[in-house]
Amino acid sequence: MVYKLRIALILFVIGALSGLSIVAVNSFTEDIIEQNYLRQELEVYFDIFDLEKAEQFEVDDEPRDVYCRREARGYDADRNKTGELNFFCVEDDDVWERAVVYDGNGTRLGQVFRIDHENAHGEVITLVAFDNNQDIVEVRIMRHTNTPNYVRRIEENHLEPFKGQSLGDVSFYDGRTGATVTYNSVVRAVNITADNVMADRALADYRRFYPDAESHETVFRYPIGCIEARIAIYDNDENLLGYIYQATKDNDHEAITLNIAIQQGEFLGVKSAREDLASDELLEALEKYEAFEGEPIDNVAPDFDETVYDETINHLVNQAIVRCQEDDEARHIRQFFLWATSMGEEVEIDEEPLLSYRPVYENDTLLGHVYEAEIDTGPLSNTYEGGVFNVSVAVTPEGVVNNIVVNEINESGYVRDALYDNLDIYRGIDGPLDEATHSDALAGGTTLGGVINDIIEAALAYEDAREDD
Amino acid sequence: MVQSTAKKKKAGNTYLTNFVKGFIRENPIFVFLLGMCPALAVTDSLETGLGMGLLVVFVLTLSNIVVSLIKNLIPDEIRIPSYIVIIATFVTIVEMLTEAFAPPLYESLGIFIPLIVVNCLIMGRATSFASKNTVLMSAIDGLGMALGFTVALMLIGFSREILATGAIGYGIYLPLPVEGSLFNLSYALFNMEVFVGPAGGFLVIGIWLAVFNAIGQSKQRKKEEDRRRWIEKKKREAAERKRKKAMESAGGSA
C-alpha cells in the first residue's frame, strides 16, 4: 500500500512540475503569440487587397459602437496611412468576424469573412475576401492544424479558381484535391460567406421598396402555388413596415423570381429578385408595372401582353395580390391551415388538458379543428420553475396533426429554441406518438417535450373519439 | 600524477566519442532509422529540417538531463509514463516558444511539433541511455544524438530543396535577420517538384541510406581486408620463425 502511495506521489509530483513549467512558459509567451497572430492577420488582409505593406499597425480595441469590435490602421515608414480595417462581430456562430477594408484614402475596397471550422483533422481558419461587387478577391487559409503538405497543395493549386467568381454563383473546383477534408472546410467557408452576403444582398433588395428596412422574416414556411414566401420587413425598432411576396414561375424560357411589395393594402412595386442575373428584356418588361406603384391593391389588375414575360409577371403580381387579400382577412387562422378562410364558434371541452376547440373552414369545406390546451406544471425542482404552457394543435378530420402553435410558454433561450426546432416532427402524425417521436421531442427539453407530447396525444384522442361518434 | 592525467584524457575521449557517435556511426536516421516521421514530413526544405532538428535538440538534451537526474527516484513500473510526461512537457514548452518566436516555422511544422512527443529517438535515448548514465554523459549523449538527427534532417532537406527548386532559401521559416536564397540554379534538373512531396522524401532518404550503407560496407570490407592481411602477415611471420628455428636446430645438429 505504502509503495503504491509512493508511486502515486511520484506521478503527482512529476505531473505538477510539468504543469507548472507549462503555465510559466505560457504566461511568458501568451501575449507575444497573440501579438504575432494579430500582426500576421492584419498583414494578410493588407496583402489580399494589394495595399502597401505597413511597417506599423495601430489597433483600437475599444468598440466604436455596438456592432464594431475594433479598428486597425496600417502606416508606412513615413507614418502615412496605407490602409484601414473595421472589424465587425457577426452573430452567426459560423462566422467569427467580418472586416471591411479601406485603402489609405478611405475608399472602401471590399470585405473579408473570417471563418473557423473544426474538421476531422483539426481547425482550419479561412479568409474569404470579396470586393464591392461581391466578386471573390481571394480565398486564403489563414491558420490550420491539418497536415501541412496537403494544405500547401490546396493553397498552391486549388484556391486560385475561386478568384474572380461571383459570390452569388460560385462553382467549386473539384473534390479531387488530395485532401478532401481540408478542401471541404474551405468550400464550407465560401458557402457561408456567400449565404451571409446574399442575405445582406436580399436586404439591399428589400430596401428598394422599404428604405428603412433593417431586418426581415420569412413568414410562410411552405410554398403556396407560385408564391414561395411572404417576407415581413421590419425597421430598426422592429416595427413592421410591410410585406414582400416572393413568387417564382417558369415561363418556358427561364425561371422568373419576383419580389412584389405590398404595404397596408398599397402596391409598392415589383422587381426581379435577382437583378444581377435578370435579362435586360425582363427588366424592361418590369418597368411597365411602375405605373401601379402607390395604387391600392384593389385597383391593381395588370393585363399586359407585349413581351414574352408579361403573362408571367401579370400572373405573379395577381397571385400576390390575392394572397395578400386573403392574408389580411384570415391571417390569424392561416397559421393552422394554409388555405383557411374562416373559423367556427369555440366549443369548450372539459377534458384536461384540453380547454376548447374551433372548427376551421376553407369556404364551406371543413379543414379541421384547432384544439387549445393548457398544462401548468408548477415548480418541478429547485432549479426549474416550470409554469403554464398554452398550446394550440390543428388536427385534420382524418386525425392528422397539421400544425402546432405555442401560445404561452414559460421558457427562454436554448430550451425554447430547441422546442421550436422540434415542433416539425409532430406535423403529419396521425396516432399515438411512437418512441422515436417522444425521444426527438424530449431532446428539446424534457419537461417541455413531455408537455407537448401530452397535449398532442389528448387532441388526437379527442379527434379520434369524435370521428367514432 | 601521470595516472591522473591519463585518466582525464581517457574521460575526455569518452565524452568526445559519446558526443560524435550520433553524427555518423550511430546516426539516428541513417543508421538506426529512428524518427522517420519528421524525416519524411518536414524535410522539404533545409530550413524546416534545421528548425525541426533544433527543436529536437532542445527536447532531447533537456529530457535526457531530467531523466538522468531523477532516474533513481522513478520505480520501473512507472518509468515509461513518467518519461512521456517529461518529454511531453518539453515538447509543449518548445511548441509555445516556437509559436512565439518563429511563427512561420511553427506554421510550417504544424502537427509535427506535438508529434515530437512520440519520436522514438527521444524515448529510446531516455530509456536506453539517460536512465543508466550520469547527468553529464546523458546531456552529451542527448546533444550529440540530436545534432546527428539535425544534420541528417538538413542533409535530406538540402537535397530535396535543391532538387525541387534549384535554390536554398534562408530566413523564410527561421527568425534570421536576412531573408533570401542561395544558388538559384535554373537548370531543368533542379526543378523536379516530386522532391517536395512525400514521394521525394522517400526517394531522397532511400538514396542517402544507400550512400551511408555503401560507406559502411566499404569500411567493413576494408576492415576485413586489413584483418585478413594482418592474419596472413602473422602466419607468414610464424612460418618464418618456424623455418628459422628449424634451420637453426638443423645447423646445430650438423
A240-257 per-position pLDDT tens digit: 888 888 888 776 666 788
Distance from CA of A52 to the nearest CA of B (A): 20
Show residues of chain A in contact with B108, CB under 8 Å.
148
Place A467 in a pLDDT band, splitting at 50, 70 and 90. Answer: low
Name the residue in chain B with its Cα closest to that of A19: B89
Task: Compare A191 and B13 and report the one with higher pLDDT.
Answer: A191
Whether residue A439 lies within 8 A of chain B, CB to CB, comes out as no
Name the residue in chain B with its Cα closest to that of A35: B100
Q: Is residue A463 part of a domain?
A: yes
Grid cell of B16 as nine digits = 568526445
Distance from CA of B100 to the nearest CA of A (A): 5
What element of type H or E holds A257? strand A255-263
Distance from CA of B91 to the nearest CA of A (A): 10
- Whether residues A323 and A422 share a domain: the answer is no
Place B8 in a pLDDT band, splitting at 50, 70 and 90. Answer: low
Q: Is residue A114 part of a domain?
A: yes
Distance from CA of B112 to the nearest CA of A (A): 9
Taking the CB of residue A441, how many other CB atoms lie within 10 A of it? 24
Name the residue in chain A with its Cα closest to that of B66: A14
- Whether residues A266 and A117 share a domain: the answer is no
Are A147 and B88 a contacting pair at CB < 8 A?
no
- Whether residues A189 and A79 share a domain: the answer is yes
DSSP code of A224? B
Q: Which of A169, A199, A229 is the last residue of a domain?
A: A199
- Whether residues A165 and A282 share a domain: the answer is no
In order of A148, A149, A309, B195, B212, the CA distances from B44 in angstroms are: 11, 9, 61, 7, 20
Task: Return the pLDDT at A451.
Answer: 76
Whether residue A7 lies within 8 A of chain B, CB to CB, comes out as yes
Task: Return the pLDDT at A221.
Answer: 45
- Whether residues A60 and A97 share a domain: the answer is yes
Name the residue in chain B with its Cα closest to that of A14: B82
- Whether residues A327 and A361 share a domain: the answer is no
Q: Assess whether pLDDT exceeds 70 at residue B110.
A: yes
The helices-and-strands tally (H runs, E runs) of chain B is 8, 2
Q: What is the CATH number of the domain that holds A367?
A: 3.90.1010
Task: Return the pLDDT at A441.
Answer: 46
Report pLDDT digits (tens) over B47-106: 889 999 999 999 999 999 999 999 998 988 899 999 999 999 999 999 999 999 988 888
| Residue among A11, A36, A122 minimizing CB distance to B103 | A36
**Which residue from B181, B129, B183, B160 is spatially nearest to B21, judged by alpha carbons?**
B129
Q: Is residue A74 part of a domain?
A: yes
Are A149 and B198 a contacting pair at CB < 8 A?
yes
Which range has the worst mean pLDDT, A52-61, A115-124, A225-234, A326-335?
A326-335
- Whether residues A24 and A109 share a domain: the answer is yes
Q: Is residue A20 part of a domain?
A: yes
ipTM field: 0.79
Highest mean pLDDT of the ranges A64-78, A253-267, A425-439: A253-267
> For residues B152 and B43, what is the distance between their CA atoms, to the nearest angstrom?
10
Place A28 in a pLDDT band, splitting at 50, 70 and 90. Answer: very high
Whether residue A27 lies within 8 A of chain B, CB to CB, comes out as no
Backbone angles phi, psi at A234, to 5 degrees: -120, 155
- Whether residues A412 and A363 share a domain: the answer is yes
Average pLDDT over residues B198-227: 91
| Residue among B75, B86, B107 minimizing CB distance to A14 | B86
Q: Which of A199, A231, A248 is the last residue of a domain?
A: A199
Average pLDDT over residues A398-423: 73
Domain that holds residue A230: 215-332
Share of chain B above pLDDT 70, in %: 92
Rg of chain B over all Cα atoms, to the nearest angstrom: 25
- Whether residues A413 and A279 share a domain: the answer is no
Picking from A23, A25, A143, A144 by the largest number of B CB atoms within 10 A of its own CB, the best residue to mutate is A25
Question: Which residues, including other chains, have CB under 8 Å from residue A209's CB and lie 6 or more apart?
Answer: A233, A242, A244, A259, A261, A263, A268, A269, A271
- How big is the A-B interface in CB pairs under 8 Å? 69
> For residues A28 and B114, what is the distance between their CA atoms, to the nearest angstrom?
19
Task: Compare A50 and B10 and report the one with higher pLDDT.
Answer: A50
- Whether residues A376 and A305 share a domain: the answer is no
AA identity, residue A388? V
Task: Return the pLDDT at A168.
Answer: 73
Taking the CB of residue B169, how many other CB atoms lie within 10 A of it? 17
Number of domains into which chain A is organized: 3
Q: Assess whether pLDDT exceeds 50 at residue A443.
A: no
Show residues of chain A in contact with B198, CB under 8 Å.
149
Show residues of chain B in contact with A147, CB under 8 Å.
110-111
Q: Is residue A210 part of a domain?
A: no
Taking the CB of residue B190, how many other CB atoms lie within 10 A of it? 17
> For residues A215 and B199, what is the distance between their CA atoms, to the nearest angstrom?
54
Taking the CB of residue A99, how many other CB atoms lie within 10 A of it? 22
Q: Is residue A204 part of a domain?
A: no
Grid cell of A229 as nine digits = 414566401
Q: Is residue A209 part of a domain?
A: no
Are A40 and B103 a contacting pair at CB < 8 A?
yes
Average pLDDT over residues B3-31: 79
Q: Are A427 and A401 in contact (CB under 8 A)?
A: yes
Report residue A192 CA to chain centroid gap.
Answer: 10
- Whether residues A379 and A440 share a domain: the answer is yes
Task: Return the pLDDT at B44.
Answer: 85
Average pLDDT over residues A73-84: 88
Q: Assess whether pLDDT exceeds 80 at residue A172.
A: no
Which range has the worst mean pLDDT, A90-94, A222-226, B87-91?
A222-226
Name the residue in chain B with its Cα closest to that of A27: B96
Which range has the worst mean pLDDT, A83-92, A182-191, B12-21, B28-37?
A83-92
Place A53 in a pLDDT band, splitting at 50, 70 and 90. Answer: confident
> For residues B90 and B130, what is the distance between their CA atoms, to the nearest angstrom?
16
What element of type H or E holds A241? strand A240-250
Backbone angles phi, psi at A254, to 5 degrees: -165, 160
Are A29 and B100 a contacting pair at CB < 8 A?
yes
Which range has the worst mean pLDDT, A206-215, A344-353, A416-425, B173-182?
A416-425
Report pLDDT digits (tens) over A245-302: 888 877 666 678 888 998 888 889 998 876 666 778 888 888 888 888 888 887 887 8
Grid cell of A389 as nine digits = 404552457
Q: Assess whether pLDDT exceeds 90 at residue A66.
A: no
Are A14 and B82 a contacting pair at CB < 8 A?
yes
Distance from CA of A148 to the nearest CA of B (A): 6
Whether residue B109 lies within 8 A of chain A, CB to CB, comes out as yes
Q: Which of A170, A199, A228 is the last residue of a domain?
A: A199
User: What is the pTM for the complete model shown?
Assistant: 0.55
Are B111 and A145 a contacting pair at CB < 8 A?
yes
Q: Assess whether pLDDT exceeds 60 at residue B24.
A: yes
Q: Is residue A208 part of a domain?
A: no
| Residue among A18, A29, A147 minimizing CB distance to B85 | A18
Q: Assess whether pLDDT exceeds 90 at residue A131.
A: no
- Whether residues A188 and A264 share a domain: the answer is no
Grid cell of B11 as nine digits = 574521460
Task: Return the pLDDT at A157.
Answer: 80
Show residues of chain B in contact with A7, CB under 8 Å.
75, 77-78
Average pLDDT over residues A118-137: 86
Residue A442 sits at the vertex; the CA angle it makes with A437 and A448, to the nearest 5 degrees, is: 120
| Per-chain mean pLDDT for chain B | 87
